[in-house]
Structure 1
Amino acid sequence: MTKNSTLFVRPEIVVEPNRNAVAEVQRPLSAFEAIYRISWIRKTAILLVLALVWEIYGRWLDNSLLFPSFSETLHAFMSGISSGVLLQRAAVSLQTLLIGYSLGILLAGLLTTVAISSRIGNDFLETLTSMFNPLPAIALLPLALIWFGLGTGSIIFVLVHSVLWAVALNTHAGFRSVSNTLRMVGQNYGLKRFSLVRSVLIPAAFPSILTGLKIGWAFAWRTLIAAELVFGVSSGTGGLGWYIFENRNQLETANVFSGLFFVIIIGLFVENMIFAKIEKRTIRRWGMQH
């Protein structure tokens, strides 16, 4: 640098922090925002809106035989609960449902374990799924009648069919999505077949398995109600499906709606109190889902 050269100093730009932005970030949530973040409150609000729409339409239609209002349905529901009829019918339906649902899950687990262990097992499951999954469970009612007679066995048979393929498909898809790295890690620890499935594949594929369990539960409910419309009185059980059918024949439409309302309540309870807790303690806890 020569004596005549001038030293230029670049002016530094000082940016003052935006105090308004900082205050905006640190602004506490309002009461509405804090409540809105709670999931069960949002869902309850949706249900209340639906109930309000139901009540308005029922009153506007003004025909209880065709479409009772929500208040009339709720009154019939409370009467059925207080008399114990609805609770008794629901207990019968749930007992049958749990048996069929459990058997369907058990068979689905065995099939998917065999499918993941060998190529012939994989081909076997894919073939059976392609054959029987499109077949409606209700279409098997005549065969169930011939094979098992009028009774709980026929209902359980169609329940197993409705649950088996949904759970097997989702479980198998979840197993196939597990990375080869995890499989090799399990094999390096000496895990094979059932131990590999239990310790590696099931935890890694649990989001798909849980989805299959939810779908299987919904299919089982629909199949159960439809099957009880046919078999309920003959088997002497009289579940919710037969309760709905009886009241339809007697033109007690409010009781029909109350039976359907009870099915909805049970479905909401299972979804939000059982499946949601399982999901929170497994999938979300493991960081698989936000």
Structure 2
Amino acid sequence: MRADRPGPLRHAWLRKSLLLLLLAGLWEALARWQDNALLLPSALQTARAFAAGMLSGELPGYVAASLAVLVQAYALGVAGALVLTSLALGSRSGRDLLETLTAMFNPLPAIALLPLALLWFGLGRASLVFVLVHSVMWPLALNAYAGFGSVPETLRMAGRNVGLNGARLVFQVMIPAALPAMLSGLKIGWAFAWRTLIAAELVFGTTSGQGGLGWYIFQSRNELFTDKVFAGLAAVIAIGLLVEGLVFQTVERLTVRRWGMQRQAPGSPG
């Protein structure tokens, strides 16, 4: 029997693009049926508002302000998580410290710390960085610790048998073996931090005299520019998709998938 040839929809990006077009068509139809741009602007109106904001430089300015805070806080959160994980791997007291702190703080929503952050650091970037570090640190520390703990003892013994000890064993055996769990923690921390940042900016707006993307959405809502509100939300989604597709999937493809440590989904690009 003749085998079926792969069709044009074998590419995941093409299937997802068609799905997005379908959703945009449904949105356009619903908006035209509602016929109230103040409550629900159409997809075309939102696209025009998005394009106008990008061309004027207004929207990129708000996006840049948000990403500047996010990158700083994300780096600090990753560093803190790695320190906690190193302590947990090095001693029993460090493990107890990590387990206690994560049990206390991981279930605590970062946005709930915003009143304390405002009290301690005032209305500025430091308050945002504080709540975002909280968003990143705990899920990454948990995943990294679980990843290192799941490294098989036979793999460690194999590394020692070929002469790997100390830092060489950690960097050439332990970290590659724990990388899938660490990448999962990095993605979770990124998602938590990104949505916490937008929520925090919606609450108290500008930092250091310059507003972020959440403030742009809030300000547009106050001025009844609903199409700009949707354009801001579209920017939030677009940045999330870009980071997931261009950063995390690229890292996964160059590391854990190439090493055969993660199964590739059917239809996904090689």
What TM-score bracket applies, with the shorter chain setting the length? over 0.9
Quote the residue 1:9 is aligned against.
none
Secondary structure of the residue aligned to 2:206 is helix
Bigger shift: residues 180-189 or 251-260: 180-189
Tell me how far apart the structure 1 counterparts of residues 207 and 105 of structure 2 sit (CA, whole Å).
27
Q: TM-score, normalised by structure 2?
A: 0.93
Deviations 1:27-62 (A, max 9, x none): 6x2xxx331211111111111111111111111111
Alpha-carbon displacement from aligned partner over 1:209-253 (angstroms, at most 9, x marks no partner): 111111111111111001112333363120101001101111111
Match of 2:58 among 61, 85, 90: 85
Contact 2:125 2:207 in 1 (8 A): no
Match for residue 13 of structure 2? 40
- In structure 2, relative to structure 1, the CA distance for the partners of 1:48 and 1:111 (3 Å cut) is same
CA distance in 2, matches of 1:125, 1:46: 42
TM-score with structure 1 length normalisation?
A: 0.86
What corresponds to 1:191 in structure 2? 165
Superposed counterparts of 1:92-171, under 5 Å: 92-171=65-144
Aligned partners of 2:124 and 2:206 also within 8 Å: no
Matched-pair identity in %: 58
Q: How far apart, in 1, do the equivalents of 2:171 and 2:190 lie?
A: 22
Superposed CA RMSD: 1.4
**Change in CA separation of 1:176 and 1:267 when aligned onto 2, cut-off 3 Å:** same
The structure with the larger Rg is 1
Match of 2:191 among 213, 218, 226: 218
Q: Please show how residues 241-280 of structure 1 align to structure 2 within 5 Å.
A: 241-280=214-253
How many angstroms apart in 2 are the aligned matches of 1:200 and 1:149?
44
Taking the aligned partners of 1:97 and 1:228, their CA distance within structure 2 comes to 12
For 2:176 and 2:82, the matched residues in 1 are separated by 14
Q: Distance in 2 between matches of 1:57 and 1:119?
A: 58
1:4 corresponding residue in structure 2: none
| Counterpart amino acid of residue 8 in structure 2 | I
Structure number with the bigger relative contact order (C-alpha 8 A, sep ≥ 6) is 2
Alpha-carbon separation, structure 2, partners of 1:236 and 1:196: 48
**Unpaired stretches in structure 2, ≥5 consecutive residues:** 265-270
Q: 1:175 aligns with which of 144, 148, 163?
A: 148
Report the equivalent of 1:18: none
2:169 and 2:198 map into 1 onto residues whose CA distance is 38
Structure 1 runs not aligned, ≥5 long: 1-20
CA drift of 1:200 comes to 1.9
- The number of equivalent residue pairs is 262
Question: Does the 8 Å contact 1:68/1:254 carry over to 2?
Answer: yes
Matching residue of 1:3: none
Aligned residue for 1:235, secondary structure, equals coil
Q: Distance in 1 between matches of 2:82 and 2:157?
A: 22
Flag the 1:234–1:168 CA change in 2: closer, same or farther, 3 A: closer
